Amino acid sequence: MDPQFRYKNILESITGGFFALDSEFCITYWNKAAEMGTGLTSLEVLGKNVFEVFPNAKEAELGEKYRIAMATRTFQSIETSYKDDRFEAWYDFRIYPTENGLSVFLQDITEKKTEERRKEIMVEISHAINTSRHLDELCIRAAEKIALLFDIPSHLVCVYLYDPRGNEIRLVAPALIEVDFPPDVVHQRVAADAPHPAARVAAMLGPIVTERIAEGTVGPLFPEEIASLHVKTLVVIPLLVQGEVQGVLEFYSIKQQGFIGQDLDLLSVVANDLAGGMSRKRLVDELRTKNIELESQTQKTVEASDTLKKFLATFSHELRSPLNSIIGFSELLTKQLDGLPPETVQEFMKNITTSGRHLQQIINDILDLSKIEAGKMDLHIASYPISYFEEGVRGVLAAAIAAKNIRLEFTFAADIEELVVDQTRFKQILINLVSNAVKFSHPGGTVRVTSQRVDNDLRFTVEDEGIGMRSEDMTSLFKPFKQADNGREMNHEGIGLGLAITKKLVELHGGSIWAESEVGRGTTIAFTIPLIVDAGSERMMQAGMLLETLQRENRSRTSGDKPLALIIEDGPQAAELLKLYIESAGYRVEIARNGVDALDMAKTLHPNVITLDLMLPTKDGWQVLKELKRHPLCKQIPVIIVSILDEKNLGFSLGAVDYFVKPVNRDDLVQALDRVHLLPRTDRQSPSVLVIDDDRAAVDLIQVILENEGYRVFKAFQGKEGVEMATREHPDLIILDLIMPDVSGFNVAYQLKQIPATRGIPIIILTSMDIDEETQERLGAHVTSLMSKGSFTKKDLLREIGNIESARWH
């Protein structure tokens, strides 16, 4: 047999491809296996340069191997792949030099390589699933591994999580900070007729494979990249566990739809593993949430139990002591009155009176604290000479001061003659602090009360030279039913409520309190309240404050008509003075001298801001405000009430921007008018606030306050409902209570920060729970601000919201 014929038979019978190249890299032989492996017949390739037949090999490593083998006459080998829009294949090339050129054997190792790669990626996906801390991280890392598996950019792989609470899927991967996904893509309602294929797949529980790539999630966001990659097919498959949808996987492929079957087989394996991981991680997250909630409830139960035990022990002791005195001396007087000398009877009656007053003080303290914690204590603000409080403290504590021969010194700032505070409660603050200082001073010692102005605050200090406190006792100084033990055995009466109540009262005034102490050297307790000064002429002071505020409001106006201020004031001199001030600030001013004219002018002129006195002729300010807020042309005009009437709740409910009892504080008025800028304009949607609280009365109060400020308010009375509503409505702000019956506020805050769609929403905690350092640490970075219901006012809430909005703008 002809050897050449025999060699040809052998080359045609082998399973691997074989072809020969001459010294010019032209193909001289092409066997049947090469034809089958490449889809190219020998008639199509013989005589052609190998780099003409396979142009992508010329600059690749395979082409370099050809050139090296030809030049050095040495054996070369390489494993390489070939990919187009129909298939992807891997080959093992073995290149042998011959007398006339090169002999090339190639073996299709696609199946082997695919299996190796599949195992490698599956191991990586499993590792990502098992080591991810939460569901979102799992989805993001799995998407990155799937992208590697199919050689596409990771942001072209989308993973959705299914939320059964809202029957929607939520886009988790890709997590692109620089890309703003449309809300209807991030949250898709699951339905068979949904506009996006991912939501339809979740409803039908079956895959979608289509060449309509524009329907994909990220296709419209990266059109140039999609075009450069020559993407041909969109694949969307459900992630199922026992027929229940866990999520959806969506990715793009460069292969044509008819050649993607092998990829779908591989994807089914990946999808099963990913869905199983999602299900397990979801259960783990739910368990973690339950554990956090249980831990929170347990901790609160323990703390409540400890507090109750301490309260009962202290309270029973403090009640028994005065009651024993009252009952004992009363019995003696009842049975032996005729036989007792007058001085003894007088001493017994004195003891009964002292014990009764002590008992009354204990009961009053408990009622005060309960009222403050329940948010039921209202302040009645008015202006009082600062000397009034010195006289009050000296009068109430005269007996205690005399008993220990204490020298009580008052040094008030010379430029502060009057305070605008709640007279009863502010005097209670000073009495509590001075009484404590006297109690723990050495006989013959000195207690100093001072005040000074610090920026826009007024700082008071009460300093004694007594026994002092240890640093470890300072942490619980202002907590209820807490009393320090070091060296205070000389006077231990009381149930530990004085400083706790004092702290609450200071905070109700918008201030803060702290203490400094050293054992054996004494204690200094300081507190601040906002500076509220009566400048002597009330109208002059108001004009000055309004001038500064309107100047600030007018700074942003660089062109156009001057803004208009409508002053509703029946006093001619006061109105003219205000007019001069406001016009000098660049405003046009109109004056209404009674309620009827005020309404007509507001409807006709539509001013930028209105100042309103409530004491008006013909029609009072209440009726004016009510009609302004009902009229479509006037209801958005900011109205600031300045009046001697203390009816804040009524003013807020009728839609006032803010309410000040004369004399008004300058900074407060500036803040009120600054908030005018936060009101929604006609060209943008009103900002929205979600309130999550089981206390319906508290929610209704917040709703009244915020809706009158121009906000849209959503309400949720349970934690689970709140999370669902936040995910669905995506509000601009969330106000959250910590104590709720179904899911605690701690868990709500945690869940909201795990969901990408709600992670960036600022959260204000508004709760009756004591927000101590440990609680703040537990909340961590989950919340933006903390507020206590016990000291909550409209001004506080709007200030917090204003701070958040300012931070966003800056």
Q: What is the pLDDT of residues 231-240, one digit of tens each?
A: 888 999 999 9
| Three-state SS letters, 410-469 | EECCCCCCEEEEEHHHHHHHHHHHHHHHHHCCCCCCEEEEEEEEECCEEEEEEEECCCCC
Between 317 and 554, the more confident residue is 317
Token pair of 42, please?
A: 């020998």
* The predicted structure's pLDDT at residue 248: 93
CA distance 657 to 604: 21
CA distance 260 to 88: 10
Judged by phi (left if over 0) then psi (alpha if -120 to 50, else beta), residue 205 lies in: left
* The predicted structure's pLDDT at residue 66: 92
DSSP letter, residue 574: H
* The predicted structure's pLDDT at residue 68: 93
Model confidence band, residue 644 (pLDDT cutoffs 50, 70, 90): low
pLDDT, tens only, 445-497: 999 999 988 877 889 999 998 888 887 777 777 776 665 544 444 344 555 67
Please give the span between the terminal C-alpha atoms of the chain, in angstroms, as a whole number.
Answer: 91
Lowest mean pLDDT among 135-149, 166-180, 790-804: 790-804
**Cis upstream peptide for 322 (omega within 30°):** no
* pLDDT for 635 beyond 60: yes
* The predicted structure's pLDDT at residue 448: 94
Model confidence band, residue 174 (pLDDT cutoffs 50, 70, 90): confident
DSSP letter, residue 397: T
* pLDDT for 663 beyond 60: no
- Cβ count within 10 A of residue 582: 26
Judged by phi (left if over 0) then psi (alpha if -120 to 50, else beta), residue 13 lies in: alpha
| Three-state SS letters, 633-677 | CCCCCCEEEEECCCCHHHHHHCCCCEEEECCCCHHHHHHHHHHHH
* DSSP state string for 6-50: HHHHHHHHSSSEEEEEETTSBEEEE-HHHHHHHS--HHHHTTSBH
Q: List the one residue out of 610, 649, 605 whose CA is nearest residue 629.
A: 610
Between 134 and 434, the more confident residue is 434
Residue type, 656: A
Lowest mean pLDDT among 278-287, 728-737, 786-795: 786-795
CA distance 724 to 719: 9
* DSSP state string for 335-395: HHGGGS-HHHHHHHHHHHHHHHHHHHHHHHHHHHHHHHHTT-PPP-EEEEEHHHHHHHHHH
Bridge partners, residue 462, by sequence: 449, 525
Model confidence band, residue 610 (pLDDT cutoffs 50, 70, 90): confident
Q: What is this structure's pTM?
A: 0.38
Model confidence band, residue 202 (pLDDT cutoffs 50, 70, 90): very high
**8 Å CB contact between 675 and 639:** no
CA distance 737 to 698: 10
Q: List the one residue out of 223, 292, 251 whose CA is nearest residue 159.
A: 251
Model confidence band, residue 292 (pLDDT cutoffs 50, 70, 90): low
DSSP letter, residue 585: T
Model confidence band, residue 262 (pLDDT cutoffs 50, 70, 90): confident
Residue type, 645: L
* pLDDT for 682 beyond 50: no
pLDDT, tens only, 294-315: 776 787 788 777 766 766 666 6
pLDDT, tens only, 393-422: 887 788 788 888 999 999 988 877 778 787
* The predicted structure's pLDDT at residue 460: 93
User: Once rounded to an integer, what is the mean pLDDT over residues 583-590?
Assistant: 71
Q: What angle do CA 65, 69, 72 make, to 5 degrees?
A: 130
CA distance 449 to 697: 40
Q: List the one residue out of 586, 584, 587 whose CA is nearest residue 611.
A: 587
* The predicted structure's pLDDT at residue 533: 34
Q: How far is CA 385 from CA 391, 392, 413, 423, 500, in A?
A: 11, 12, 12, 10, 26
pLDDT, tens only, 486-542: 444 434 455 567 788 888 888 888 888 998 888 888 899 999 888 753 333 343 344
CA distance 365 to 371: 10
Residues 6+ apart with CB under 8 A from 525: 433, 436, 437, 461, 462, 463, 499, 513, 514, 515
* The predicted structure's pLDDT at residue 478: 79
Q: List the one residue out of 701, 669, 654, 708 whose CA is nearest residue 686.
A: 708
Q: What angle do CA 140, 144, 150 make, to 5 degrees?
A: 140
* pLDDT for 324 beyond 90: no
Q: What angle do CA 24, 25, 27 make, to 5 degrees?
A: 115
Between 660 and 361, the more confident residue is 361
User: Once rounded to an integer, what is the mean pLDDT over residues 543-564?
Assistant: 51
CA distance 357 to 259: 94
Helix locations, 187-260, DSSP H: 197-204, 223-228
User: Once rounded to an integer, what is the mean pLDDT over residues 64-86?
Assistant: 84
Model confidence band, residue 323 (pLDDT cutoffs 50, 70, 90): confident
* DSSP state string for 84-133: -SS-EEEEEEEEEE-SSEEEEEEEE-HHHHHHHHHHHHHHHHHHHHHH-S
Residue type, 463: E
User: Once rounded to an integer, what is the mean pLDDT over residues 668-673?
Assistant: 43
Q: List the one residue out of 499, 497, 503 whose CA is nearest residue 318.
A: 497
pLDDT, tens only, 330-372: 888 887 877 788 888 888 888 787 777 767 767 776 776 676 6
State the average pLDDT for the chain.
76
